Amino acid sequence: MYFYMTNSFCIFFFSFVCVCRLCFVSSFFFFFFFFFLFFKGT
């Protein structure tokens, strides 16, 4: 039971880190793309 709890917690933590990293990368790319369009327009 203890092993199952720690294993599910590790999986949850790993998926949480993956989602955070995905959100960070997507927001970074969106910001970079917006910056590029802004400089291209001026």
Domain ranges in the chain are 15-41
Tell whether the model's pLDDT for residue 4 goes beyond 80. no
Q: Read off the pLDDT of each residue in 28-34 and give the average, rounded to a whole number.
A: 92
- Write out pLDDT tens, residues 5-28: 777 888 888 999 988 899 899 999
- CA distance from start to end of the chain: 61
More confident: 22 or 1: 22
The pLDDT value given to residue 11: 86
The whole model's pTM is what?
0.50
The pLDDT value given to residue 29: 93
3-state secondary structure 1-42: CHHHHHHHHHHHHHHHHHHHHHHHHHHHHHHHHHHHHHHHHC
Determine the Cα–Cα distance for residues 20 and 39; give it in Å rounded to an integer. 28
The pLDDT value given to residue 30: 92
